[in-house]
Structure 1
């Protein structure tokens, strides 16, 4: 008689039963022999309820197995009484990852591609795919040890529901705030692709109300994404999100004329193609002529410069910058929503009362489906790594010790029908090491899911654009093998794309790669943007990495006598400086090796911002901040608690955010930010500016819906 067990254990036993037969299993056999299903009832009255309950449970289980990529085949047969019956089977060749042959270099490139997603929604899928391929290829485990590394984040709450809708061909609805607009509109879209460029994620799809393809920036989606029924539309053949990303920023070249104090605003002066002329009308000021393609991005850059730069023309750009500054100033002048007496005005005081830290993203439920996939992945991994320590197993699968104990307990009581000693998997723990035996049925990893295949292929394709790689052949080998393994699911690699490198940074990255390879140092100019200061450095490059589309070099700075992270786009005039003189640091204590460009220091300043929930959700991971509810505060805003090296970086950030965040603490920073924004907004007020241009309404960014 079947005992009541968890749904995960029942489906695990069903998988083993259907994999462990060459002929197939009938419904009757499954019901009577697979643990977890209720046997035939003793009376007709009881069977009238138990029979349909089994049928519903069995159908649900089959659907779940198919959803996770396990194909179930059916054949028609006849029993001993010549009654027709359906037999169910999982063919091992359809279940498992095909045999993979990869060189060590190609396996290393797979690790680089998988780790690219380590801070993104595809993180677990990418690591699972890497684990499966490595196990099937019979190769050891490979870490991402490349000197060029990239990390892509999916900060927007809309990403995961849009990704699910893209895979399932579900139309979605959401509220959207177009560029330059103060209000939102409701949109109904058939998702065709998702892509990342300029550090932003974009959706491309068919807008049903407008009857045309449109592109949407995910950070402008202001509501939950509501999916419709699966399979409600067909993606057009030949669509590639990569071509959409290529078109972004390839529109008309605009020219801006900007008034700046002489000898300042080096960020604009050092832009490629920028020209400078002395302003004859206003002594002590220059006029910069700067080319740009994306009005919205240019407006954000100029707003962050505050009163140091005033747009003369075009009027549309001027008005966009002025609008951002006015919105940021209006937010800064709002009363701080604190309980009475919490912080006296003008005093630094303590932080206002905060609720407990909130998760940056909603916690994922550990569903029956998720646990089944984990167990099916855990078995071949343990077979390939006998004696693996418990803590390594927990780390590999992202689970706690208690969860591991439960998982191993489930595996110990699962096996072939009969469930005698030789039928069950034998799992033992000896001195903290885990061993598994009698697990031949599940010893090969389950085929790649759509998400796993997509994560690897998109990561590998993005790496092709990184200059100077000495493993181009290995990269192509990895792409070819993963496409073969992915089979029909490889189409998703055309629906998701990353552009890791834009602009003119490729040449600088190539030079830095050569310095790392040859163990050489270099002299370089470096712009410290927070101080608008051009400095001269001698650096010894160790590693190059990117976060989204921003590239950094981790280097020993002889000037500072310490490791520092430098933005590649702010480096200039690299010249040889001889061999590197300082030993490479221990990466275990290298504060910049965790993918964050900012290394916390003893003299950091704690800052508390108040931001609308969607903005707070993007700020927290970007600044390694924690999210809180502000005790006593009303509304949907959230507190963002962060550490900064220089408080002067906060006002430009608020200008970029255009009113969607403001400073709460410390009070002196709140006041200095308000004053900075007031001065910046005043530089665009009426005729008070040295060069005034009346702008029209701000246009949409080329290539974006608005």
Structure 2
């Protein structure tokens, strides 16, 4: 029997051996009969060393199985010589996903919920959970082809360590820059929940330093998150992050006076509670009284309007806008690199280990049982594997099985004419129960969709939620610890109207605000699909005016009315719901220089390409210590270069335009004009808190 084989092969053999017994397996049996462990030594000294090595390896393997959620039961027994021994087994009832009964519509809603996380931290977990539930329900595979689709992103580096600390009940510490704070402070927090609202992720927990519950915006965390794995705490009973999200932005509203062109700034005029408050101080302007609850979000919006909106009061909001414009202006006039370096992989790279591969193989075996003859290409795509990786996994499955490892004991994996079949895999025919990430991904996605589901989907959605809660068992609490608020305000009415038009194949006449031109247009559209990126909603439609498919922001639709039946056939839509921007032939490539966090956030939104930035003498990556700060280059395509300057204002110095030269100058002029509106006011020349540098 070979003693040196792949660790994943050994672990898989151990799982099959412990699942395939009712009484249990002793350590002696496991060492002598489970492929991958050391056999008998030739001498007494050799035997002693091999026994010690086995004990260490077996303990590590048990820990690994427990870490991936495979429960091992131990019991005391006696062998034929009446000697006490411990027997180990895995109870199939604890291991397997329980049987599930779902109709096709409920299964479809599960697919929609899983795909909410496409490209996010829970992406792989969500798809794995969907695969397990579909396999156990016996319903095959379902695509996300509903008319309403959502995508949520988890681009903040702090998300994954906070999620790990949350589910394990460990305190964390991190550097944090509060709203309007000049300095970063270290905060120690007991994480209670993570939630997304306004396109931002928030951490809710107990702030140990301030001895009170607090909420933290993940984008303001300025350091790595340190997890105190030795500490442990209990979350408050009944805590719900969804209730925390509901409370954000619901405090007493503040009021601002903003000077705008008499016939402009339509985006501000359309805000609920906005009213004309009088004449402005400059010819052709007037004052708007604007109600708001989130000062930072309001400052972002006002800064992105540039010279079109000058804040008169309150002073704090005015100062916040000026600081953003000053920081963007300073960055716009900074040194740019002579060129970008090699391409950088987008997103964080998760280091795969033996546990990941073991879980994949334990998922692949029942999937093959449920889908006999699946094409190799489809199997590789399902598990996101390169051909060589797939071949290695199939080889491992084919050499594992029940102890004995004879014909009928080993799983038989064969490929015939490009189709994959598996036989003798009864022990692994039912998928492993959901992990914490898998349970959380499905439950949170399903709960979020209840806000935008139509009446026809509501029943199926709640059926799916109940089924997943039963499957999740003790991990169902995670649905109260993570939440998404996908839609707020009056957009719900517009989304519901668009849903009805898509179902009834009705065209829509709409009044639409083109924000980059600050003008209204009248259009006839034929809606095809509704989707969201984080909390921003779009309708994908055939625009009769433009003569092609276009994406329109729902918040910019000012009126909507039925306009007769649709006349265009439902052609395949090349637009993808995981990105609002669809490249066009006349697009302009923009080169940006940004801090690493900002660059990695922008890249998915614009389908951009990240690059290293060489440390040139006198260049932006040169430092006195010689250490290269985390600056990245980013190449994106834009259909209208006039959208770049507002983006830079919103980013407030975290990014600058490196090229083309004419766009760089255009941004500089736009920012100078925006700041000119505040000329003569002490806010422009005063000493302001330092803004974040490009190096983060």
User: Which interval holds the TM-score relative to the shorter structure?
Assistant: over 0.9
1:679 pairs with 2:662:
no
Which of 591, 599, 613 does residue 630 from structure 1 map onto? 613
- Deviation of 1:367 after TM superposition, in Å, equals 0.8
Matched residue, 2:464? 478
Which of 626, 649, 669 does residue 663 from structure 2 map onto? 669
Matched residue, 1:620? 603
When the two structures are superposed, what TM-score results if normalisation uses the length of structure 1? 0.94
- Deviation of 1:483 after TM superposition, in Å, equals 0.5
| Superimposed CA distance per residue, residues 14-47 of structure 1 (whole angstroms, 9 cap, x where no aligned partner) | 0000001111000010001101111232222123
Matched residue, 2:635? 641
Distance 1:299 1:592 in 2: 32
Matched residue, 1:462? 448
Give the conservation status (yes or no) of the 8 Å contact 1:197–1:499. yes
Matched residue, 2:693? none
Q: Which moved more, 1:49-58 or 1:386-395?
A: 49-58
SS in 1 for 2:179: coil
Distance 1:361 1:152 in 2: 14
Give the conservation status (yes or no) of the 8 Å contact 1:456–1:482. yes
Give the conservation status (yes or no) of the 8 Å contact 2:593–2:634. yes
C-alpha change, 1:607 and 1:531, in structure 2 (3 Å) is same
Give the conservation status (yes or no) of the 8 Å contact 1:26–1:88. yes
SS in 2 for 1:273: coil
Give the conservation status (yes or no) of the 8 Å contact 1:169–1:230. no
1:311 pairs with 2:308:
no
SS in 2 for 1:134: helix
SS in 1 for 2:272: coil
Matched residue, 1:440? 426
- Deviation of 1:366 after TM superposition, in Å, equals 2.1
1:557 pairs with 2:537:
no
Distance 2:590 2:433 in 1: 47
| Superimposed CA distance per residue, residues 232-284 of structure 1 (whole angstroms, 9 cap, x where no aligned partner) | 22211111111111111011111111101110111111112211255165431
Matched residue, 1:156? 156
Give the conservation status (yes or no) of the 8 Å contact 2:529–2:539. yes
Matched residue, 1:104? 104
| Superimposed CA distance per residue, residues 478-501 of structure 1 (whole angstroms, 9 cap, x where no aligned partner) | 111110111001011110000000
SS in 1 for 2:663: helix
Runs of at least 5 residues in structure 1 that lack an aligned partner in the other structure: 339-351, 699-706
- Deviation of 1:127 after TM superposition, in Å, equals 0.7
| Superimposed CA distance per residue, residues 382-416 of structure 1 (whole angstroms, 9 cap, x where no aligned partner) | 00000000000000001110001000111111011
Matches within 5 A, 1:235-274: 235-274=235-274
Give the conservation status (yes or no) of the 8 Å contact 1:107–1:142. yes
Matched residue, 2:391? 405
1:201 pairs with 2:195:
no
Distance 1:227 1:40 in 2: 43
Give the conservation status (yes or no) of the 8 Å contact 1:168–1:231. no
Distance 2:253 2:187 in 1: 30
Distance 1:444 1:82 in 2: 36
Distance 1:636 1:415 in 2: 48
Distance 1:178 1:337 in 2: 31
SS in 1 for 2:13: helix
Distance 1:121 1:62 in 2: 27
| Superimposed CA distance per residue, residues 296-315 of structure 1 (whole angstroms, 9 cap, x where no aligned partner) | 00000000001111011111
| Superimposed CA distance per residue, residues 105-164 of structure 1 (whole angstroms, 9 cap, x where no aligned partner) | 111111111111112111111111111111111112111121111111111111111111
Distance 1:218 1:168 in 2: 19
- Deviation of 1:207 after TM superposition, in Å, equals 1.6
Q: Which moved more, 1:236-245 or 1:47-56?
A: 47-56
Matched residue, 2:29? 29
C-alpha change, 1:449 and 1:420, in structure 2 (3 Å) is same
Number of aligned positions between the proteins: 679
Q: Which moved more, 1:183-192 or 1:640-649?
A: 183-192
Matches within 5 A, 1:234-633: 234-279=234-279, 281-338=281-338, 352=339, 354-586=340-572, 590-631=573-614, 632=616, 633=619
SS in 1 for 2:456: coil
- Deviation of 1:697 after TM superposition, in Å, equals 8.8
C-alpha change, 1:693 and 1:223, in structure 2 (3 Å) is closer
The runs of at least 4 consecutive aligned structure 1 residues that moved more than 6 Å come to: 692-698
Q: Larger relative contact order (C-alpha < 8 A, sep ≥ 6)?
A: 1
C-alpha change, 1:654 and 1:693, in structure 2 (3 Å) is closer
Runs of at least 5 residues in structure 2 that lack an aligned partner in the other structure: 622-628, 691-696
C-alpha change, 1:607 and 1:697, in structure 2 (3 Å) is closer
| Superimposed CA distance per residue, residues 500-548 of structure 1 (whole angstroms, 9 cap, x where no aligned partner) | 0012101111111111111111111111111111111111111111111
Distance 1:424 1:281 in 2: 84
| Superimposed CA distance per residue, residues 653-693 of structure 1 (whole angstroms, 9 cap, x where no aligned partner) | 1111111111101111111111111121221233499xx99
SS in 1 for 2:343: coil
Distance 2:116 2:267 in 1: 29
Matched residue, 1:343? none
Distance 1:459 1:434 in 2: 32
Give the conservation status (yes or no) of the 8 Å contact 1:316–1:695. no
Distance 2:255 2:230 in 1: 46
SS in 2 for 1:540: strand
Matches within 5 A, 1:105-184: 105-184=105-184
Name the Cα RMSD after superposition: 1.8
Matched residue, 2:218? 218
Matched residue, 2:4? 4
Give the conservation status (yes or no) of the 8 Å contact 1:312–1:693. no
Distance 1:524 1:552 in 2: 14
SS in 2 for 1:365: coil
- Deviation of 1:370 after TM superposition, in Å, equals 0.3
Distance 1:410 1:467 in 2: 43
Distance 1:663 1:694 in 2: 26
Distance 1:211 1:53 in 2: 48
SS in 2 for 1:143: coil
- Deviation of 1:623 after TM superposition, in Å, equals 1.7
Give the conservation status (yes or no) of the 8 Å contact 2:24–2:87. yes
SS in 2 for 1:471: helix
C-alpha change, 1:665 and 1:282, in structure 2 (3 Å) is closer
Matched residue, 1:341? none
Matched residue, 1:658? 652
